[in-house]
Amino acid sequence: MNVNQKVTVSRNLNVATAFKDIDNWVFDLDNTLYPADSDLWPRIDHQITLYVMNLLGVDGLSARALQKYYYQLYGTTLHGLMNENGIDPHDFLRFAHDIDRSHLKPDHELSDAIGRLSGRKFILTNGSKAHARATAEKLGILHHFDTIYDIVSGHYVPKPDPQTYERFFNENNINPYKSVMFEDLEKNLKPAHEFGMITVLVIPKLGHEDHREEWEKTTGNPTHVDFITDDLSVFLGKVTSREPI
């Protein structure tokens, strides 16, 4: 798919009017609200590998293999470690997100774009609330968000499990038919689409580093993705100005 290509296989969306009735703007955090070529996610990924190494007393290659196996099987490494190894999730989250964020700079363009959106704004993340707050604060966008709904809020059941979306909607009085979700992983947009949300896939710019797993990268034209952008700020600017996307 091409950058900013609209997908309308399952719904006849009109670009000019698709967002006019949106009341709820739902954003993933990692590799969505900050650029996918940032080294923030690799730092977290490395911390998770270290956690598995320390927990099980295995070498780095073995720890990483198990980490990725749990991630693919359970949706997050955390969920796998809880189910298979009975770990304390709070310890894991503290360790995984104990990273240096000093390289992250305020994104004034993104802040302005989010600020112009009419309605409530949410962060829906498989990470922790502390991580989301710290990261959004560094980006200069934390003040725009009404709620951060993290993995703890979702009872440690990660996206894309539909029950997490249902809990999120119910606890925040959200009508999914008046909502849009922004994500860097198209698998997490599938249940959002099925619940009635407009879906936007945020991808890396051409030639920039992509930290997603190979099996997570978009292929073909998934019918549950309505829009694709490689620049979230520009995309939101076009939404608020009603420019063609």
Using the predicted structure, report yes or no on whether residue 6 has a pLDDT greater than 60: no
Which tokens is 160 given? 């894309």
pLDDT at residue 244 in the model: 63
SS3 for 90? helix
Q: Which band of pLDDT confidence, cut at 50, 70 and 90, is reported for residue 218?
A: confident
Q: How far apart are CA 47 and CA 97, in angstroms?
A: 7
In the sheet with 120-124, reading across from the earlier edge strand, the strands are 147-149, 120-124, 24-27, 179-183, 198-202, 227-229
Topology, domain 24-38+105-241: Rossmann fold (3.40.50)
Cα–Cα distances (Å) from 37 to 32, 205, 208, 210, in that order, read 10, 9, 6, 6
The answer to whether residues 52 and 144 touch, using CB atoms and an 8 Å cutoff, is: no
Which residues of the chain does CATH 1.10.150.450 include? 40-96
pTM strictly above 0.75: yes
Q: Which amino acid is at 39?
A: D
Q: Which CATH architecture has domain 40-96?
A: Orthogonal Bundle (1.10)
Which residues of the chain does CATH 3.40.50.1000 include? 24-38+105-241
CA triple 183-188-189, angle to 5 deg: 70
Q: Which band of pLDDT confidence, cut at 50, 70 and 90, is reported for residue 15?
A: low
Alpha carbon 4 to chain centroid, angstroms: 18
The answer to whether residues 71 and 77 touch, using CB atoms and an 8 Å cutoff, is: yes
